[in-house]
Structure 1
Amino acid sequence: MLWGSSGLSLRGGGSTMPGRPSFQPNPSCTHSGDPWPQRLVAWSPLRKAAAVLWLLLLGTSLSPTRGQPKIPLEIVKLWADTFGGDLYTTVTKYSGSLLLQKKYKDVEPSLKIKEVDGLELVRKFSEDMESMLRRKVEAVQSLVEAAEEADLNHEYNASLVFDYYNSVLINERDAKGRSVELGAELVLEANAHFSNLRVNTSVSSVQLPTNVYNKDPDILNGVYMSEALNPVFVENFQRDPTLTWQYFGSSTGFFRIYPGILVQADRDNREHFKQLVDELMVKGVGVVNPALSEAFEILQQFQEARQGSLCNQAIMLITDGAVEDYEPVFKKYNWPDRKISTLADAQENVMEYLHVLSRPMVINHDHDITWTEAYMDSKLFTSQAQSLTLLTTVAMPVFSKKNETRSHGILLGVVGSDVTLRELMKLAPRYKLGVHGYAFLNTNNGYLLSHPDLRPLYREGKKLKPKPNYNSVDLSEVEWEDRAETKRVLFLTNDYFFTDISDTPFSLGVALSRGHGEYILLGNTSVEEGLHDLLHPDLSLASDWIYCVTDIDPDHRKLSQLEAMVRFLTREDPDLECDEELVREVLFDAVVTAPMEAYWTALALNVSNETEPAVDRAFLGTRAGLLRSGLFVGSEKLSDRKFLTPADEASVFTLDRFPLWYRQASEQPAGSFVFNLRFAEGPESPGEPAVVTASTAVAVTVDKKTAIAAAVGVQMKLEFLRRKFWAATRQCGAAAGPCPKTCEDSDLDCFVIDNNGFILISERAHEPGVKLKEKPVHTW
């Protein structure tokens, strides 16, 4: 069933014109015992609004007779208009925004704007995800069949001798340079599909707990039997390359994992373990008798009332020792007592209980499919990467099919495969969701599997740590701003559409923003013309978007999306599968934006002789994920080299979001610029900010429907803005002689803040980058 609803979503990452700031008293702002008043002036230049900027003046003393400020308001307006006019001239010149708007205007008669059908969109995404997840289930089912058949045909041999790849010993050598026992040579290569770990995709390897003897007869027989899974692992991966780890966990205590991998207790793994147990500590003594009594009471009530789930029910207590005797509790409830007193007994007794509990399923051949909640890839903790990989796992039990064991209900183990949610979300393409639209996944318990604003980590010093209950987050918890992390806020009204994903416990939702988010722009051009303009050095494509499928054929995996697209368009590789609609839109955008390269190049030649150019670079992005940029300085002189690189996820197209500068610009009137203060190495780095970006949207209107086609902007040094501002505030109109007041006077403080309320310009070097509301000033 599909549903649609609407609501107001407050989401981080955008910008709005800030409301009137609240001011707090500042005892230092006094003069002659009287508080100085202030003026807050909002301005727009005489031309198109360059930005929503605010000019804040502190310290304009009042005349004791008339209560008028010494500095006329028309002078303040003159400063604002002069500064705004100069700024607008600079950003329009260097960005080429007027040229880009004209190019899209020229082709408007050939364009179409289609209204987005949210219900149809969520239905199509759901069907694609269902097909993908069904393939994962089929892969696991093939492992179940292979494991059960292998066990059926295997005769237990207590004296079996067999060598296998032990994950801890692979490629290990002794003092004489010979391979150690169970440590044969295995070629391992870094594989991007498996978090860049060194693996072998031709074979699986076996892991064992340290307290399990690796040549125990039960282990050897189980490992030998499960060798039959190797060809199935490989075949599954070849059939569905989006599969990640596949495994078989045996009830005898070993773990077979594909692809084969070397597991060592190196510093990274030890650090991972330390993070997991860092906060565990012993506190007092467990009072077990009352807990056991309560557990028996609850279980008895449920059995008498025939409540609870229709499955086996049991109470199991696991402890490292006890200070009390549980015999009275067992006798009272007339239950058979079964205690495990030594570590050696643990495995045998626990597995005996598992066999008992699994017996009804074995007899009935119930191979229940289990999907897990979202959890983190442990690779996250062994790297410095800021990106996060969330997984879900599909698993099924493996039972013995031998006639002599059926009545005993022998559980052989569990097979499963991990599914990266990132691969799943690729089936909800960004370009179909618009600038602010997004897709999200829920479990049947109402918890999020995936959402652009699901932030399960927090930073403690230099370490990233998981938040408590990170995988039990409700949708309502992320649809509103995280005040601890949000630096820019945008109010959006969204329409929500959602449906279930058949044969899974998951549901899919899509949020579409109202306004331009309700429409999608469609263009067209010839392949020849588009290819010519696509092959330019200043052009790149969103690396996370799927223009062409490159992860199925091994020959395609090393291709970039741009390279794959070119091979598809030139028919060089007929086996490539590409999203023809997205490819068509990219070709169209490449043609329309091509003149920008020549414009920026000519401009760069004209400003090459300047000692300090006003702007470092210009850039643009389109709704098809195309990105162009042009430099006005050498790359070594860029004030922010991280900007527009994959290391700065906020400034590039990602699987989850359009760039920040694109999203901000889309919510302002077309032609007006949004200004952002940036720190060269990120907000958490020390030092004052040095970079400002300005961006504006290009909108297209057809038949009274408007869609955002692109956004264009510039990156400039903050010092350039400072000089422009101080120069503007030295003017005083037609007044003869020196200005009576300027922002450089000691009794007058002037500030310029950006669209998000951060101070851009101040007389004090430490204040740029500070939120205006965090600066204490006097009220009036």
Structure 2
Amino acid sequence: MNNNLKPIIILLIYYCFITSTNASNKTNSVDSIKKSLEEHQGHLLVNKSKTKSVPLKIANVTKINYVRPKLKKKTEVKIITPEQVKNWAKAISDTLCENEKQFVRRDILLKGFSDIKIEVRNGTAIVEETAKALEELLERRGQAAEAIMRRAEKLDANKIPPPSDYTFTRSDDIDILKKEEKPETDLEIPLNCSSLDKVKLTNSAHFDANVSLEYTSVHVALEVFECDPRVMEHIHWTEGLLDTFRENYAKDATLDFQYICSAKGFLRHYPAALWQNMYKLKTDGESIYDCRLRPWYVSASGAPRDVLILFDDTGSMNSSNLIVAKQFTLALLNALTDDDQVNIVRFNVIIESTIPCFEEKLVPANHVNCAAMMSSLKEERRVNETKMQQVLTYAVHLLNRQRLAKDTPTSCQQAIVVVTDSVYENYTELMYQLDPSGSIRLFVMWLHDRFGLRDSTRQLAGSLTCARDGRYSELVTDSDVTEQVLSILRVLERPLVAQRKHRLRVYSDVYANVEDPRRSEVYWQQKENAEQTHRYGELRRNKDKFLNTEKKYGDYLHMIQLDKNGQYYEGEDVNYRLQITVSVPVFDSATSENITITLDEEMQRNSTRTYPVNRLLGVAGVDIPIDHLKLILPYYLLGAGGSLSIVDHRGNIVIHDNVKTVFDGDILRPGYRTVDFLDVEQPAADRMPRDYPEEWFEFRKELIVDQSDGHRTMDAKSVFENGMRAILEKKDYYWKRIMNHYTVVVALPKYNTRHAVPDAIFTQKLAEEAYKALHETDFAVHPEWLYCQYVDPHFKEKKDEIIHFIRRRSDEPNFAMRKINHFFTPITPSLLEKPYQCNEDLMARLCKEIIATSPWMDIDTIQGEHSLGSITTFFASESGLMRWAVHRATSAHAEPPEGNVWARGPAEPWFRRAAAVPDTLLVHAPVAPISIRRNSFLPKPPLGERYKWLTAARTVGRTNAGVFGVAGYHFHPKHLADLLNSVTNLRILDECDEEDEDDCEARCDGKDWSCVLIDEGGWVVSNIREDSEENEEEESMREHLANLHPAAMAALLNANIFKLHWVHDYQGVCFPPKNEKLTGSNAPTLSSLLRSVWYSVKVIALASEQVFTLLYLLYTSTFANADTEAEKEKRRRRLRRDYEREKYERLYDPRVIVNRTRFAACDRSRALYELQRTPKAMEALRRGPNLCNWPLVGAEVPNTNLLLLAIYNGCPHTGKPVNDPYINEPVPLSELETHGFKVPRTAAARLACWRNLVPLPARTPHARCFPHRYADVSAPFNIH
């Protein structure tokens, strides 16, 4: 009995001991925590970032280790009340606002700006100032181009033959000493006529190349033989342009490249430059640059044209003829400009356009339309016979209708280009009946085998084209393509040259310097080749790992992210140097010449006749880089939310903040030159893509076509922060036309109408005060604005250049605001002698603001409690000034950054958001789109420091009087998460019995309830993460409530607290398969039920076949006799040998092959959410929870833009999926059928039809039309 009681007694004693120990531990843990809190209740000294200051080491009270008592098992879910959430929101607001009051010191800033004048922002004045500056720049560049033109015509008229040993400086490998290449025999023509000498080059940031200002150099097109005497003669006399080039540059050192493109196929440019250095893409293969096919050359060589291409689609068009025909058609389309109208018509016994929606009309020859027409030509079967009479009749009637059509730009010339392998009859009389006025030119491209059979095509086509002022040419091989395209352009330029009185000064579209879109396509193939190489390497390294399910699914998701989700990288790793060009045609001085031909007769006699000559000698041009053009534009007058753009006569964008040029870091986007005004300025109302509201359509027509200047107020959707945010607002649009070509457009929001205007002049005294105020202080300015800078930048940092010029102004009483003359001297000029330019108004504003903010920068120490860790306080002005101070405290998170990370002033997202909600502390969480590169083995592009920090900002100004700027502080997100956790989760100070959990209030413990802070766009500003060791780069990716808590976002949408909007990306890129399967066939299709039955029968038949095969093998098999040991060994050796021979074949797996793609333009749409701050919506937000019906409790965080939400985790979202704002999904083009069109068979054609559903009106370019028939001598007429 006693033995049985002993174990029980021992257990009772042990239990009492454990119980007392646990109670003691609980008491000790709570006591230690309370003691720690009392120790840290005092004020902490927080110093500015100086080298001598030592930060105080403090403990983070939220990181104290203590033993949390085990809670009792809950029997029911506790409810968080609206009152709790309201109190928590107020506690968070108090901390944010107290931190602002303590460190930002807005009162000192207001005192510094007490004497600053406030004015109403004047949109009309901004437009006038911009137009004046742009017009002056274009006029100066036009005069420089005309000086080159006049000198070139004079040199041509007095040219002399070059010496026999003449050589020229070639741009390729200009900085390398070359070896002489001698021909094998004296009878051979030398293969290289360029100089062997090496030219010393210097790197120039102004020209973005390695250049020499002492020389010019020549680039010769690939298909031109440079040693041809006819070419050498022109290269020789163009050397005389060096003096004109230098004179232009001496007058204005801000000039960029000057050049003349000769009709012979070479480009002489100044300064001399290394040609390879001007390319941004490093691809294999020869340079395909030909200046005669660049848009500035083609535009200057003649007025707009209507071109109808008749493509022979009969059965005889096959083999090499078909290949050459397609290459010619593609080359001709690439040579046309966006001002030209074009279409391709296939003909045999049926006449139809290559794209159904292009029937009976011509469309602009832009990238999207031309790519669509070419894609539709590829996969068609050639059948039947030629019906030339019918197709010529169709073509003439179509061009006649086009000439009379309204709301389309008027063309000066119309041409029919027939691409065929035979002409059987003489259609001269037919063409005279169809077009008696002779206004339509006719060209025939005869495709034939050089050694094949002959027919009468040469005689018939020759007489037909001669009668129609056209040209007949033979296309034998693909080497003839470029020359024959140029021959058509030479014919079309004759009317301009024939009149020899009026000159065109042409302003080009925006384009990427010397790059060609075809190089981007090659570069994309190189990227896919690199991806294939990587996959082969991974396969050989570990086949099993490479082919496992997880890996294969990851590769599949990679392409899904690129194409379906539109999460490709949109950053710009390469500056393509976008530019426009002012060009002027140069006329050949010869007006007639003798031409000798061999007659087609038995005796083969030569016949010489004198013909009139109307040839273009070339085109002279001067480049204007967009980066240089932006320097003269007054962005500092726009304020937060304002925008300044330039559009051409077609409505295409030249300059706009939301234009995206590249994708995947370094590849030009398809159609980057044809981004329309409505593609970047979108209406506030949510509509289907390209379904423009009537008022916006009328507004665009007024701006582009009807009115040269004006003003209109529109409801717009202002998109910013890489398309991830948008503000719906009213905007005032002001515009003014320049040179009858470009239009300047200024857009100003309604909320930021008053601004500070420092009433000052950039005097010597002002510069002295500003220079003293800048002593040993931190500041930055907008990196892309012109304050004062040298033409060729000398300083690495913008702020050093600003200090330098302020110092110069304070030292020089007669300081000139502009000194752009260049002096050619053998002695290198000093820094003070180099050309520079200043914006006097902006420099005066900047100096005034530097002085006004000087007291704010003078306070060295700030005492008090630091609740949000280390921070960076800042002040940013509309003039681009950024001043900041770093305040450090010991923190476990991160060191505060320097303020120059956010140096873009009013262009920063937090600046424009704060200006939209004045007197509100705006907490900005940076949002970056998901960026995936094409090559899966490359790391994701880094987001940078600016995406790792939160910003609390508020406008600085007087209520209803105007804004001086924005002030606030940058702080680390983990400190806000600590604050959120301490307010909504920690129970240290709860007045409840920890033994009885039922007496405690519900908290956001991450189990039943989670608390998040979101902004007005639904982006999660802060939430409590359980895994604190998460990758820092992944933490920088902002979460959205729709993804983190979809049930809560669905409830908010249903309650109309949030509203879903859509932003359309009309500059999107899609990645269809390289060998695209044709869809949308016009053949009849079976119903879905019959198709299902047919597929089921096929599956059953296939399965039956496999079963029968297996049964047959089992039935016919026999037992094998045993082999001898020798036979077994022989078989082993054979298997071993086969294994060694075939190991690589057995390693191969078809799943390693990359799915080859190409890139193409497409439309995409992204979901954006907007908080509705109406009384009704806020009342609905504050109601109590109803778990799964209303699984949240919310409250506004007072005096901020934030919402605090307590969300119940027990109800997963089961309804309709909410839209992910990170997905930029492609727009389905299935609605084409509803508009009465046959669905095209290729993706490019479907996109072209989609974009041409609603034709956007364009203005006829400023040009004159001249008659193209020799018999006509009437005066030139204006196409307006």
Question: Which amino acid is 2:172 matched to?
Answer: V
1:507 paired residue among 721, 743, 751 = 743
Between 1:411-420 and 1:238-247, the stretch displaced more is 238-247
Quote the offset at 1:341 in angstroms: 2.8
Separation in structure 2 between the aligned mates of residue 681 and residue 637 of structure 1, nearest angstrom: 28
Aligned to 1:55: none
> SS of the residue aligned with 1:516?
coil
Aligned to 2:561: none
Separation in structure 2 between the aligned mates of residue 372 and residue 420 of structure 1, nearest angstrom: 12
Q: 1:396 to 1:736 in 2, by over 3 A?
A: same
Q: Answer yes or no: is the 8 Å Cα contact 1:173–1:180 preserved in 2.
A: no
Aligned to 1:625: 880
Aligned to 1:132: 137
What residue ranges of structure 1 are gaps of 5+ in the alignment? 1-61
Aligned to 1:594: 854
Separation in structure 1 between the aligned mates of residue 977 and residue 612 of structure 2, nearest angstrom: 83
Quote the offset at 1:706 in angstroms: 2.4
Aligned to 1:563: 804
Q: 1:446 to 1:264 in 2, by over 3 A?
A: closer
> SS of the residue aligned with 1:477?
helix
The answer as to 2:940 corresponding to 1:699 is no
Separation in structure 2 between the aligned mates of residue 304 and residue 744 of structure 1, nearest angstrom: 74
Aligned to 1:215: 227
Q: Answer yes or no: is the 8 Å Cα contact 2:174–2:198 preserved in 1.
A: yes
Quote the offset at 1:205 in angstroms: 0.8
Q: Answer yes or no: is the 8 Å Cα contact 2:778–2:884 preserved in 1.
A: yes
Separation in structure 1 between the aligned mates of residue 677 and residue 235 of structure 2, nearest angstrom: 43
Quote the offset at 1:274 in angstroms: 11
Q: Deviations over 1:219-245 (max 9, x none)?
A: 211111100111212222232333222
Separation in structure 1 between the aligned mates of residue 949 and residue 793 of structure 2, nearest angstrom: 43
Separation in structure 2 between the aligned mates of residue 216 and residue 452 of structure 1, nearest angstrom: 47
Question: Which amino acid is 2:811 matched to?
Answer: T
Between 1:85-94 and 1:483-492, the stretch displaced more is 483-492
Q: Answer yes or no: is the 8 Å Cα contact 1:640–1:680 preserved in 2.
A: no
Quote the offset at 1:714 in angstroms: 1.8
Q: Answer yes or no: is the 8 Å Cα contact 1:396–1:415 preserved in 2.
A: yes
Quote the offset at 1:535 in angstroms: 3.9
2:205 paired residue among 180, 192, 205 = 192
Quote the offset at 1:297 in angstroms: 4.2
Quote the offset at 1:210 in angstroms: 3.2
1:547 paired residue among 780, 787, 790 = 787
Separation in structure 2 between the aligned mates of residue 745 and residue 150 of structure 1, nearest angstrom: 83
Q: Superposition pairs for residues 170-569 of structure 1, below 5 Å?
A: 170-174=174-178, 182-195=195-208, 197-264=209-276, 268-270=281-283, 283-284=378-379, 294=391, 297-299=394-396, 302=399, 309-311=411-413, 313=415, 315=417, 331=460, 334-336=464-466, 337-342=472-477, 354-365=489-500, 366-377=502-513, 385=573, 389-402=577-590, 404=592, 407-459=612-664, 463-480=665-682, 485-501=722-738, 503-524=739-760, 527=766, 528-548=768-788, 550-551=790-791, 560-569=801-810
Separation in structure 1 between the aligned mates of residue 851 and residue 759 of structure 2, nearest angstrom: 11
Q: Deviations over 1:190-224 (max 9, x none)?
A: 111122x2111222211113343322211211111
Quote the offset at 1:678 in angstroms: 6.6
Between 1:417-426 and 1:548-557, the stretch displaced more is 548-557
Q: Answer yes or no: is the 8 Å Cα contact 2:168–2:193 preserved in 1.
A: no
The answer as to 2:983 corresponding to 1:723 is no
Q: Deviations over 1:481-513 (max 9, x none)?
A: 669952222233211111110x34111111112
> SS of the residue aligned with 1:264?
helix
Q: Deviations over 1:564-617 (max 9, x none)?
A: 233124326623334333233222211221122233x424x989xx9x980242
> SS of the residue aligned with 1:164?
coil
Q: Deviations over 1:247-268 (max 9, x none)?
A: 2111112111222112239994
Between 1:376-385 and 1:205-214, the stretch displaced more is 376-385
Aligned to 1:76: 85
Separation in structure 1 between the aligned mates of residue 726 and residue 482 of structure 2, nearest angstrom: 54
Q: Deviations over 1:77-103 (max 9, x none)?
A: 222222221232223323334432454
TM-score using structure 2 length: 0.48
Question: Which amino acid is 1:560 matched to?
Answer: E
1:91 paired residue among 84, 100, 112 = 100
Between 1:444-453 and 1:567-576, the stretch displaced more is 567-576
Quote the offset at 1:450 in angstroms: 1.2
Separation in structure 2 between the aligned mates of residue 557 and residue 238 of structure 1, nearest angstrom: 27
Separation in structure 2 between the aligned mates of residue 521 and residue 267 of structure 1, nearest angstrom: 42
Aligned to 2:12: none
1:748 paired residue among 988, 998, 1009 = 1009
Aligned residues: 692
Separation in structure 1 between the aligned mates of residue 261 and residue 102 of structure 2, nearest angstrom: 64
Q: Answer yes or no: is the 8 Å Cα contact 1:371–1:392 preserved in 2.
A: yes
Between 1:681-690 and 1:260-269, the stretch displaced more is 681-690
Separation in structure 2 between the aligned mates of residue 435 and residue 576 of structure 1, nearest angstrom: 27
Question: Which amino acid is 2:102 matched to?
Answer: K
Separation in structure 1 between the aligned mates of residue 848 and residue 622 of structure 2, nearest angstrom: 40
Question: Which amino acid is 2:643 matched to?
Answer: Y
Between 1:620-629 and 1:633-642, the stretch displaced more is 633-642
Separation in structure 1 between the aligned mates of residue 413 and residue 146 of structure 2, nearest angstrom: 22
Q: 1:539 to 1:643 in 2, by over 3 A?
A: closer
Q: Answer yes or no: is the 8 Å Cα contact 1:693–1:713 preserved in 2.
A: yes
Q: Answer yes or no: is the 8 Å Cα contact 1:676–1:755 preserved in 2.
A: no
Quote the offset at 1:291 in angstroms: 9.6
Quote the offset at 1:741 in angstroms: 2.2
Aligned to 1:15: none
2:1018 paired residue among 742, 748, 757 = 757
Separation in structure 2 between the aligned mates of residue 96 and residue 326 of structure 1, nearest angstrom: 92
Separation in structure 2 between the aligned mates of residue 328 and residue 407 of structure 1, nearest angstrom: 26
Q: Answer yes or no: is the 8 Å Cα contact 1:457–1:467 preserved in 2.
A: yes
Q: 1:227 to 1:210 in 2, by over 3 A?
A: same
Quote the offset at 1:358 in angstroms: 3.1
Q: Answer yes or no: is the 8 Å Cα contact 1:75–1:732 preserved in 2.
A: no
Quote the offset at 1:413 in angstroms: 1.3
Question: Which amino acid is 1:359 matched to?
Answer: R
Separation in structure 1 between the aligned mates of residue 411 and residue 382 of structure 2, nearest angstrom: 28
Q: Answer yes or no: is the 8 Å Cα contact 1:160–1:221 preserved in 2.
A: no
Which structure ranks higher in relative contact order (CA pairs < 8 Å, sequence separation ≥ 6)?
Answer: 1
Question: Which amino acid is 1:669 matched to?
Answer: P
CA RMSD of aligned residues (A): 4.6
Separation in structure 1 between the aligned mates of residue 895 and residue 577 of structure 2, nearest angstrom: 27
Q: Superposition pairs for residues 667-686 of structure 1, below 5 Å?
A: 667-670=916-919, 672-677=921-926, 685=942
Q: Answer yes or no: is the 8 Å Cα contact 1:376–1:390 preserved in 2.
A: yes
Separation in structure 1 between the aligned mates of residue 159 and residue 797 of structure 2, nearest angstrom: 39
Question: Which amino acid is 1:298 matched to?
Answer: A
> SS of the residue aligned with 1:566?
helix
Separation in structure 2 between the aligned mates of residue 117 and residue 311 of structure 1, nearest angstrom: 44
What residue ranges of structure 2 are gaps of 5+ in the alignment? 1-73, 183-191, 290-329, 331-370, 405-409, 420-443, 467-471, 524-570, 594-610, 683-716, 819-837, 932-939, 995-999, 1052-1188, 1190-1280
